[in-house]
Structure 1
Amino acid sequence: MRNRVVAAVGSAVFFVLAPGIVAGLLPWLITGWRAEPVWPPLQVLGWVVLVPSVAVLVSAFVRFVVEGFGTPAPVAPPTKLVVGGFYRYVRNPMYLCVLGAIIGQALVFGQWWVLVYAAVVSGAFYAMVHWHEEPSLTRNFGSQYETYRAAVPGWLPRLRPWQPPSSP
């Protein structure tokens, strides 16, 4: 129980520091804290992207606590490989949701420079996953991660949820 409480607190702090800054504060700083006139259907599309992105992001953070007994932060990683919830469809739902939140804000507030920022962030996310996370997960979880990686795409979600092989 204590480990879950520590993981929950750590995840909450990391949520504020990482996606809170990358998908919240920095887009607002780019916009100069102002909205531009936007074609209403684009604004609606922005909200349709933004709101579910934030909801799924919160769900993915919770999954790290309840399933992985850790946090998404590299300094306090999970002790179990997280493969449930939205991780059954795509390996990187957090990164996709952060990008969705950024793109949604660009559309809602009519700030096209935020789309440029989203492109830069997506490059940084790809590099982080490719050069740090995948090698680290392979070292920490070995064949379990390799099986998962072979079955679940990194960036384009599956249509049907992946079912992990049952343990004997």
Structure 2
Amino acid sequence: MRTIQAIAGSALFFIAAPGVVAGVMPCVLTDRYRLPLSTLPGLVPAGWILILAAAALLLHSFARFALEGLGTPAPVAPTERLVVGGIYRHVRNPMYVAVLSTILGQALLFSSWAVFGYGIVAAAAMVSFVRLYEEPTLARRYGAEYEAYRRAVPRWLPRLTPWRG
């Protein structure tokens, strides 16, 4: 039963958080959601590659929270266990990386400086949230297990070899 609740909660949070931050907000900032308008060669394919790769990464990350951690990414319904498997063996914050990659992909796809600027603001907010709330909370909740993970796995740029903690 706990797994079903975790999946349902993660699905709702997926719509509420990344759906709004990486979906609704870029749509509000540009009226070009209908048609890629880039005149520079390569920007549209690069944008699509970033968006599709980020979507796969985001889905994988959310699934890890529900299935491995038995919880959600939402602070109000945290995981029972520290999530360190899958993509989390390479980077500590794959959800944020995926959301920012989606925003960047849309900025490229729609040649939108407004979306690019929004991405910078979103990145600053995410970095602040991670450093000021998330990391201290995880350190208190998971103690030495989180500290070992934090020392071995980078925050934003993935390590090439998976951590085997």
Superposition TM-score tier, normalisation by shorter sequence = over 0.9
Measure the CA separation in 2 of the matches of 1:129 and 1:85. 20
Q: How does 1:52-71 map to 2 (within 5 A)?
A: 52-71=53-72
Alpha-carbon displacement from aligned partner over 1:113-163 (angstroms, at most 9, x marks no partner): 100000000000000000000000000000000000000000111011000
Displacement over 6 Å in runs of 4+ = none
Structure 1 position 137 matched with structure 2 position 121: no
Report what 1:24 is aligned to. Answer: 23
The change in CA–CA distance for 1:151 and 1:116 in structure 2 (over 3 A counts) is: same
- 1:89–1:159 CA contact under 8 A, matched in 2: yes
Report what 1:37 is aligned to. Answer: 37
- 2:37–2:109 CA contact under 8 A, matched in 1: no
Any idea what SS the aligned residue of 2:42 has? helix
C-alpha RMSD of matched pairs (Å): 1.0
Measure the CA separation in 2 of the matches of 1:33 and 1:45. 17
- 1:36–1:111 CA contact under 8 A, matched in 2: no
Q: Given the two structures, how large is their TM-score scaled by the length of structure 2? A: 0.96
Measure the CA separation in 1 of the matches of 2:44 and 2:127. 27
Give the letter aligned to residue 5 of structure 1.
Answer: I
Report the Cα offset of residue 32 of structure 1: 2.7
Sequence identity percentage = 49
Measure the CA separation in 2 of the matches of 1:36 and 1:59. 27
How many residues get paired?
A: 163
Measure the CA separation in 1 of the matches of 2:111 and 2:69. 38
Measure the CA separation in 2 of the matches of 1:36 and 1:113. 15
The change in CA–CA distance for 1:33 and 1:43 in structure 2 (over 3 A counts) is: closer
Report what 1:123 is aligned to. Answer: 124
Structure 1 position 88 matched with structure 2 position 89: yes
Measure the CA separation in 2 of the matches of 1:126 and 1:162. 22
